[in-house]
């Protein structure tokens, strides 16, 4: 979806309850009471919209990227938290039964304890949910355990907030606004059920099987999977999938991996996986024939349809995975545009697909620039990090400033390279990048 | 706006859009809270 349309839709969802409250027939109260109610409504609306920003919906994330979607999910959660935390402290009206002449409750707040208690529980749980998510990488959780807790916690908070809003909220006594809250809640819940129930069911219908696992570099493996009883996946070079190997379709034990194969090469999918975490350390032990499930494709690291006169691919370590997929596809298609690959690694043994890159240089004319941080004796290539100096050395020409740049690697490398490219005069629109570290 | 954003990194653009969203949300909240004054003068 177009990013501007996404922003407009987002604001529409988040501001709708406030707008309906404004348009309703209840007269305004004091500034502080209205700020309090408004903050509460906005916090709840942002919480509900967070379900759609979970990164699993291609309609939302395909144009802007899953990493950008997840970043907004993280940032907007902080806005919701801030609004929710101040919400109860802004009220100035007394909590007591309504005066007989005050039918719109302009002068008092509801004294229904059950309606407050759900708000209080949500008020206590929301900071815990946000803080656990912010500190996830520092806590000793398995990713799937955290994800399950996060999903259940979010659904619980949304349910508590719905009860609190419908029973304690002054404006939510309006049937139209109450219907909107219920509708938004149902959409949020349906999105969760879609991710946890419908998607696994669809994955069960389209299983895959591991065909081959081979070592392609130091602690780096290439995994090939083949479709079982279906035609495979329609994807574009550079995209990624959530891959689950050896678990049931409904298992949360899945990780995002870039597809390193080219769509033109057939219906097998290949992945280049480095031993980094719980699952990846065991990749070398996966036996051919193991069942796999795929959720995707996702991602916007796609050069299809781009008209730039040349394509630069800049990879750090295992970031080569989607970029070799793009190079393979360009080679299959006979794309005549010049291509340059800058490939940084710590040591020579980490370089994956070295022979294939040499073949691509010979047959496709791809210029490959290797950079090693700890080069071996007799190394004649670049030494050091894949940094701004290297990028300026390789690409600082009027012609290369018009190229398309595709980046994949560690976050620090991507930031340095992106800053260097923008400093050289390359427009941000010519730079494609996708991060897999969501913090 | 587009030209200005084109000179920013991906995270820089995220931050700009996030601030714009927050600004819109806070502005809407203030307008909502002040509507009594705005409509009655």
Q: What is the pLDDT of residue A110?
A: 82
The Cα A419–Cα A431 span in angstroms is 11
CA atoms within 13 A on the CB side of A243: 27
The Cα A185–Cα A275 span in angstroms is 40
Residue A306 in any domain: the answer is: no
Query: What is the number of structural domains in chain A?
Result: 3
Statement to judge: residues A341 and A427 lie in one domain: yes
State which residues form the domain around B33.
Answer: 2-40
**Could you tell me the maximum CA-CA distance found in chain B, to the nearest angstrom?**
46
Token readout for A66 is: 């899953």
Q: What is the pLDDT of residue A282?
A: 84
Query: What is the number of structural domains in chain B?
Result: 1
Q: Which residues of A179-189 are buried (b: 16+ CB within 10 A; e: fewer)?
A: ebbeebbeebb
Task: To the nearest 10°, report the CA torsion of A79, A63, A431, A74.
Answer: 20
State which residues form the domain around A322.
Answer: 311-433
DSSP state of B19: H
From the CA of A96, how many Å to the nearest CA of chain B? 22
Higher-scoring residue by pLDDT: A66, A430: A430
Statement to judge: residues A29 and A148 lie in one domain: yes
Task: For residue A114, count CB atoms less than 10 angstroms from its CB and return exposed for 0-12, middle for 13-18, buried for 19 or more.
Answer: exposed
Q: What is the CATH number of the domain that holds A381?
A: 3.40.50.80
Share of residues in chain A with pLDDT > 90 (%):
63
pLDDT digits (tens, 9 = 90+) for A29-40: 999 999 999 999
Statement to judge: residues A260 and A363 lie in one domain: no
Statement to judge: residues A50 and A186 lie in one domain: yes
Plot region of A183 (φ>0 → left; ψ -120 to 50 → alpha; else → beta): alpha
Statement to judge: residues A150 and A14 lie in one domain: yes
Q: What is the pLDDT of residue B8?
A: 78
Does the beta-carbon distance from A38 to B33 stay under 8 Å?
A: yes
Statement to judge: residues A343 and A210 lie in one domain: no
Residues with Cβ within 8 Å of residue A188, at least 6 apart in sequence: A48, A49, A50, A51, A52, A158
Residue A304 in any domain: the answer is: no
Residue A344 in any domain: the answer is: yes
Statement to judge: residues A159 and A224 lie in one domain: no
Does the beta-carbon distance from A42 to B14 stay under 8 Å?
A: no
Residue A318 in any domain: the answer is: yes
* Choice among A141-155, A391-405, A409-423, B1-15 with the minimum mean pLDDT: B1-15
Statement to judge: residues A162 and A218 lie in one domain: no
Q: What is the 3-state secondary structure (H, E, C) of chain A?
A: CCHHHHHHHHHHHHHHHHHHHHHCCCCCCCHHHHHHHHHHHHHHHHHHHHHHHCCCCHHHHCCCCHHHHHHHHHHHHHHHHHHHHHHHHCCCCCECCCCCCCCCCCCCECCCHHHHHHHHHHHHHHHHHHHHHHCHHHCCCCHHHHHHHHHHHHHHHHHHHHHHHHHHCCHHHCHHHHHHHHHHHHHHHHHHHHHHHHHHHHHHHCCEEEEEEEEEECCEEEEEEEECCCCCCCCCCCCEEEEEECCCCCCCCCEEEEECCCHHHCCCEEEEEECCCCCHHHHHHCCCCCEEEEEEEECCCCCCCCCCCCEEEEEEHHHHHHHHHHHHHHHHHCCCCCEEEEEEECCHHHCCCHHHHHHHHHHHCCEEEEEECCCCCCCCCEECCCCHHHHHHHHCCCCHHHCEEEEECCHHHHHHHHHHHHHHCCCHHHEEECCCCCC
pLDDT digits (tens, 9 = 90+) for A13-67: 999 999 999 998 888 899 999 999 999 999 999 999 999 998 678 788 877 888 8
Last residue of a domain, one of A298, A328, A356: A298
Statement to judge: residues A321 and A333 lie in one domain: yes
Tell me which residues of chain A have a C-beta less than 8 Å from any C-beta of chain B: 7, 10-11, 14-15, 18, 21-22, 27-29, 31, 34-35, 38-39, 42, 46, 67-68, 71-72, 75-76, 79, 415, 418-419, 422, 427-429, 431, 433
Q: Which residues of A306-315 are buried (b: 16+ CB within 10 A; e: fewer)?
A: eeeeebbbbb
Statement to judge: residues A67 and A190 lie in one domain: yes
Q: What is the pLDDT of residue A284?
A: 86
Whether the upstream peptide bond of residue A297 has omega within 30° of 0, thus cis, is: yes
Does the beta-carbon distance from B13 to A72 stay under 8 Å?
A: no
Statement to judge: residues A267 and A323 lie in one domain: no
Q: Does B19 touch chain A (CB under 8 A)?
A: no
Residue A37 in any domain: the answer is: yes
Please, which pLDDT band fits residue A439 given cuts at 50, 70 and 90?
Answer: very low
From the CA of B19, how many Å to the nearest CA of chain A? 10
pLDDT average, residue stretch A290-314: 93
Statement to judge: residues A269 and A372 lie in one domain: no
Helix (H) or strand (E) segment spanning residue B17: helix B10-33
The Cα A329–Cα A147 span in angstroms is 34
**Contacting residues of B for A31, CB less than 8 Å apart:** 33-34, 36
Last residue of a domain, one of A298, A322, A356: A298
pLDDT average, residue stretch A337-363: 91
Residue A303 in any domain: the answer is: no
Does the beta-carbon distance from A22 to B35 stay under 8 Å?
A: yes
Q: What is the CATH number of the domain that holds A291?
A: 2.40.30.10
Q: What is the pLDDT of residue A120?
A: 96
Last residue of a domain, one of A247, A275, A298: A298
Nearest CA in chain B to A435: B10
Residue A326 in any domain: the answer is: yes
């Amino acid at each position: 979806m177009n990013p501007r349309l996404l922003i407009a839709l987002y604001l529409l969802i988040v501001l709708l309850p406030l707008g309906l409250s404004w348009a309703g027939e209840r007269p305004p109260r004091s500034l502080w009471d209205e700020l309090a109610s408004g903050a509460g409504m906005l916090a709840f609306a942002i919480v509900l919209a967070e379900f759609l920003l979970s990164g699993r919906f291609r309609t939302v994330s395909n144009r802007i990227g899953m990493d950008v979607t997840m970043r907004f999910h993280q940032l907007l959660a902080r806005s919701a938290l801030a609004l929710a935390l101040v919400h109860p402290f802004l009220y100035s009206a007394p909590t007591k039964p309504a005066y007989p002449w005050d039918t719109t409750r302009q002068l008092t707040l509801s004294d229904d304890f059950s309606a407050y208690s759900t708000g209080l529980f949500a008020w206590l749980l929301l900071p815990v949910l946000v803080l656990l998510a912010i500190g996830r990488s520092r806590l000793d959780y398995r990713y799937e355990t955290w994800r399950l807790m996060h999903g259940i916690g979010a659904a619980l908070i949304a349910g508590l907030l719905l009860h609190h809003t419908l029973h304690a909220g002054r404006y939510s006594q309006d049937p139209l606004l109450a219907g909107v809250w219920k509708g938004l809640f149902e959409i949020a819940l349906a999105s969760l059920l879609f991710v946890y129930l419908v998607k696994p069911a669809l994955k069960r219908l389209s299983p895959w099987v591991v065909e081959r696992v081979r070592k392609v570099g130091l602690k780096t493996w290439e995994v090939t999977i083949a479709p079982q009883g279906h035609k495979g996946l329609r994807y574009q070079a550079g995209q990624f999938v959530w891959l689950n190997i050896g678990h049931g379709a409904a298992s949360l034990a899945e990780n995002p991996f870039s597809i390193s194969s080219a769509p033109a090469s057939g219906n097998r999918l290949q992945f280049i996986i480095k031993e980094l975490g719980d699952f990846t350390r065991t990749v070398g032990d996966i036996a051919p024939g193991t069942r796999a499930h795929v959720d995707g494709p996702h991602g916007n690291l796609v050069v299809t349809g781009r008209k730039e006169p040349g394509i630069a691919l800049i990879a750090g370590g295992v970031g080569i995975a989607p970029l070799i997929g793009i190079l393979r596809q360009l080679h299959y298609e006979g794309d005549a545009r010049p291509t340059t690959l800058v490939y940084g690694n710590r040591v020579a043994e980490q370089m994956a697909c070295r022979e294939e890159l040499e073949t691509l240089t010979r047959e496709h004319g791809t210029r490959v620039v290797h950079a090693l941080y700890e080069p071996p004796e007799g190394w004649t290539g670049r030494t050091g990090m894949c940094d701004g100096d290297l990028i300026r050395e390789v690409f600082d020409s009027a012609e290369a400033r018009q190229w398309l740049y595709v980046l994949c690697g560690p976050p620090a490398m991507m930031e340095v390279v992106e800053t260097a490219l923008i400093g050289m005069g390359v427009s941000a629109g010519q730079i494609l990048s996708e991060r897999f570290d969501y913090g | 706006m587009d030209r200005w954003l084109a000179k920013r990194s991906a995270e820089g653009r995220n931050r700009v859009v996030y601030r714009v969203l927050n600004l819109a949300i806070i502005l809407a909240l203030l307008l909502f809270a002040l509507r009594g004054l705005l409509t009655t003068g």
